[in-house]
C-alpha cells in the first residue's frame, strides 16, 4: 500500500469509526452493569450488531495502519519491523473475524 493511499484510508476509516465508537462507548457504559439477557438482546438487534461489525472492521483497520506508522518511525531493524507489521496484520484480522462470526451466529 503506498503512502498516499494509506493516508486517505486512515482518514476514511477515522470518519467511520468516530461516530460509531461514541455510540458504542455510551452503550458499553450502559451495558457494563446490565444482565446477560440485556446484553444478548442488545446484540440480537440486527442494526446494533451490524453497526458493531462496521465499527470492528473499520476500527481494527484504522489501528493497523496507525501501528504500521508508529513502527515505521521507531523500529530501525527491518526484520523486527516486518514481524511487528505481520503480527499487527494477523491481530487486526483474527480478533474482529472471530467476534463478527459470534455476533452473526450466537446472538
Partner 1 sequence: MSDSKNPLSPHLQIYRWQISSLLSITHRITGILNLFGLIFISAWICSAGIGENLFEYFSILLKTFFGKFILIGFTWSMSYHLLSGIRHFFWDLGYGYEIKTANFSGIIVVISSFVMTIILWLIGKGLI
Q: Name the residues that contact partner 1, by CB under 8 A.
A: 1, 3, 11, 14, 18, 21-22, 24-30, 32-33, 36, 39-40, 43, 52, 56, 59-60, 63, 66-68, 70, 72-74, 76, 78, 85, 91, 95-96, 98-99, 102-103, 105-107
Instruction: Give me the least distance between CB of 107 and partner 1, in Å please.
Output: 6
Whichever of 32 and 47 has its CB closer to partner 1, that residue is: 32
Taking the complex as a whole, the smallest distance from the CB of residue 20 to partner 1 amounts, in Å, to: 11
Contacts of 22 (CB under 8 A, 6+ apart): none
Beta carbon nearer to partner 1, 47 or 76:
76
Question: Nearest approach, Cβ of 95 to partner 1 (angstroms)?
Answer: 5
Beta carbon of residue 100, minimum distance to partner 1 (angstroms, whole number):
9
The DSSP secondary structure of the chain, one letter per residue, reads --HHHHHHHHHHHHHHHHHHHHHHHHHHHHHTTS-HHHHHHHHHSHHHHHHHHHHHHHHHHHHHHHHHHHHHHH---HHHHHHHHHHHHHHHHHHHHHHHHHHHH--
Amino acid at each position: 500500500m503506498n503512502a498516499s493511499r494509506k493516508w486517505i484510508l486512515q482518514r476514511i476509516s477515522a470518519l467511520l469509526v468516530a461516530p460509531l465508537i461514541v455510540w458504542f462507548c455510551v452503550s458499553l457504559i450502559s451495558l457494563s452493569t446490565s444482565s446477560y439477557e440485556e446484553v444478548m438482546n442488545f446484540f440480537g438487534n440486527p442494526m446494533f450488531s451490524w453497526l458493531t461489525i462496521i465499527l470492528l472492521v473499520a476500527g481494527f483497520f484504522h489501528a493497523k495502519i496507525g501501528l504500521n506508522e508508529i513502527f515505521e518511525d521507531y523500529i530501525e531493524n527491518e526484520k523486527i519491523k516486518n514481524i511487528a507489521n505481520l503480527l499487527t496484520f494477523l491481530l487486526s484480522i483474527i480478533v474482529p473475524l472471530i467476534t463478527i462470526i459470534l455476533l452473526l451466529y450466537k446472538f
